[in-house]
């Protein structure tokens, strides 16, 4: 029987999910593994299941596969795809490929950091958004581009980006949690206060 490992003291801030992990899922994933036992594929399926690779799942994989946890962490930390902390519900990816870089991708990331009060690579305090960068999405002719969940945005300017995120926050009914963004949004009338 798979052991149920619960480590509340190590749960990342803002995450209540770690307690409720169903580690029997890990056993199913390990059982499905192919003959050549690729740890990467195993971890990919684990991350698909939980949204990240929780510490307790790593312990469970180590126990079931007899691979030391240290080696599993070696793989997790080597590949950009894996995360050991939960990530915000809505995933924002700003492309930082060469074409997007020369078209001003840095300004897109900065605009989002400011609007959502979150650093690149991190999630917002309420775990609604995760802001990330990717090396290239291959949509270079629409540079700069970003993706929010399944929605894609091309030919962006900092201004378009702010508008897009404000609209999304409004759509999700989250304005109250992002006061900085709401005040910036209502600022349109101002400007004559010098």
Q: Identify any residues that bridge with 134 across adjacent strands, giving them in sequence order.
A: 95
For 144, which DSSP code?
S
Site track 139-178 with other proteins (rule: CB under 8 A), x = hit? xxxxx-x------xxxx-xxx--x----------------
Q: Is 97 in the site for other proteins (CB under 8 A)?
A: yes
Q: Which of 99, 125, 168, 182 binds other proteins (CB under 8 A)?
A: 99
Identify which of residues 6 and 40 has a Cβ nearer to other proteins in the complex.
40
Name the token pair of 27: 């056993």
CA distances from 105 to 1, 80, 91, 118, 124 (A): 49, 20, 17, 17, 20
Identify which of residues 8 and 141 has a Cβ nearer to other proteins in the complex.
141
In order, the DSSP letters of 71-86 are HHHHHHHHSTT--SS-
Nearest distance from C-beta of residue 129 to other proteins, angstroms: 18
Name the token pair of 31: 């059982």
Site of interaction with other proteins (CB under 8 A): 36-44, 74-75, 78-82, 96-99, 101-104, 107, 110-111, 114, 134-143, 145, 152-155, 157-159, 162, 184, 187-188, 190-194
């Amino acid at each position: 029987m798979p052991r149920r490992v619960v480590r509340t003291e190590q749960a990342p801030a803002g995450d209540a999910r770690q307690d409720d992990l169903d580690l029997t899922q890990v056993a199913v994933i390990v059982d499905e593994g192919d003959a050549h036992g690729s740890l990467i594929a195993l971890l990919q399926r684990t991350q698909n299941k939980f949204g990240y690779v929780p510490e307790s799942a790593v312990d469970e994989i180590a126990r079931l596969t007899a691979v030391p946890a240290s080696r599993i962490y070696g793989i997790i930390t080597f590949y950009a795809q894996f995360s050991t902390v939960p990530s915000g519900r809505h995933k924002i990816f700003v492309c930082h490929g060469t074409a997007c870089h020369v078209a001003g991708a840095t300004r897109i990331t900065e605009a989002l950091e400011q609007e959502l009060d979150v650093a690149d690579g991190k999630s917002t305090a309420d775990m609604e958004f995760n802001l990330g960068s990717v090396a290239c999405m291959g949509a270079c002719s629409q540079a700069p581009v970003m993706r929010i969940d399944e929605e894609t945005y091309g030919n962006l300017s900092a201004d378009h980006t702010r508008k897009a995120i404000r609209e999304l926050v409004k759509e999700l009914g989250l304005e109250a949690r992002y006061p900085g963004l709401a005040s910036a949004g209502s600022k349109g009338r101002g400007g004559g206060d010098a």
